[in-house]
Amino acid sequence: MSVPEDDSWCVEPHHFSSRLLLGTAQYPSPVIMQNALAIAEPAMITVSLRRQGSSGNGGDFWELVKQTGIPVLPNTAGCRTAKEAMTIAQMSREVFSTPLIKLEITGDDYNLQPDPFALLEATAELLRQGFTVLPYSTDDLVLCQRLVDLGCKIVMPWGAPIGSGQGLLNPYALKTLRARLPDTLLIVDAGIGSPSHACQAMEMGFDAVLLNSAVAQANHPIQMASAFAKAVAAGRQAFLSGTMQVRETACPSTPVPGTPFWQHCP
C-alpha cells in the first residue's frame, strides 16, 4: 500500500513520505534497532541526550544513529524543569547539528504526565532562541492552543501515558484537537501499543504517530516495525479516501426489489 506521491509533509528542513516516527531506546540490541529502522523507514528517529549521555558509550550510540541516515529528532526526555530541558535542548543542537527539539518536561512521576506550565515556559524561550519546538503534551485543547499561539507549528499530544501501550484513551479529545487546530501538524505521541492504535490515529486525520516501546519491546521488533509502517500508511490512505457514513440501522449492500422502503438506504 503506497502513500500518494502528493501526500508528503514537511518539518523544515526535511520533507517526508513516511508518517511514522520511531524511538531508539529499549531495543534488545543495536543490530535489532538498526534492522527495525531499516524496514520501517520512519520519517525521523528520536534520541534522548539526557538518558543516553553524550560521551563514552553514548558517543558510540550517536554515531550508530547517524549512520542510519534517518533525520534525528532529539528530545528532552527525563527533564523535570524548564531550565533543565532548555539546557538539554542547547546541548542537543550542538551534538546533532539540528534546530529540531522534541520538548518533554515531566510533571508527575506516577504517570509521567507532561508539566503544562514548564512546557509553556520552555517553549517560549526555545522558540526565541531559534529552535523548531515539537512540544510533547497531554490532549488538553487549551494547552495545545497556547502552544500554537506561542508559535509552534507542530504539537504532539499523547494518546495515553508514555510506555503504557493503552492506545487512544480519549478519542473525543483527540478528535476535538484535530477539528480545532486544522492548520497545525498534530503527531500522536506516547501510549501507542499496537498497529491498530496507530491506524486509528491516522484515520482521525492526525499527521503522524511517534512510538518506541511498542516496537522495541515486541517479541519480534523487526516484524513489528514493519507492521506499524503498514498500519500508518493504511490509516492515512483511509483518511484521505473518506470512510463511509456511520448509520444507526442496518443497510443492505445489495437492495432487493420488493423489500420494504425502510430497508433501503437513503
Annotated binding site for 1-deoxy-D-xylulose 5-phosphate: 163, 190-191, 212-213
By three-state DSSP, how is residue 242 classified? coil
Instruction: Return the exposure string of 46-80: e unless at least 16 CB atoms fall within 10 Å of the residue's CB, then b.
Output: bbbbbebeeeeeeeebbeebeeeebbbbbbbbbbe
> Is 102 assigned a catalytic role?
yes
Q: CA 74, CA 76: separation in Å to the nearest integer?
A: 7
Catalytic residue chosen out of the listed positions 102, 153, 175, 230: 102
State the amino acid at position 122 in one-letter form: A
Q: Which residue numbers belong to the known binding site?
A: 163, 190-191, 212-213
Write out the three cell numbers for 20. Answer: 511514522
Cα separation, 203 vs 194, whole angstroms? 15
The beta strands (E) that lie in the chain are given as 9-11, 14-16, 20-23, 44-48, 72-75, 100-103, 132-137, 154-157, 185-189, 208-211
Residues pairing with 208 in the sheet: 187
Please identify every residue annotated as catalytic: 102
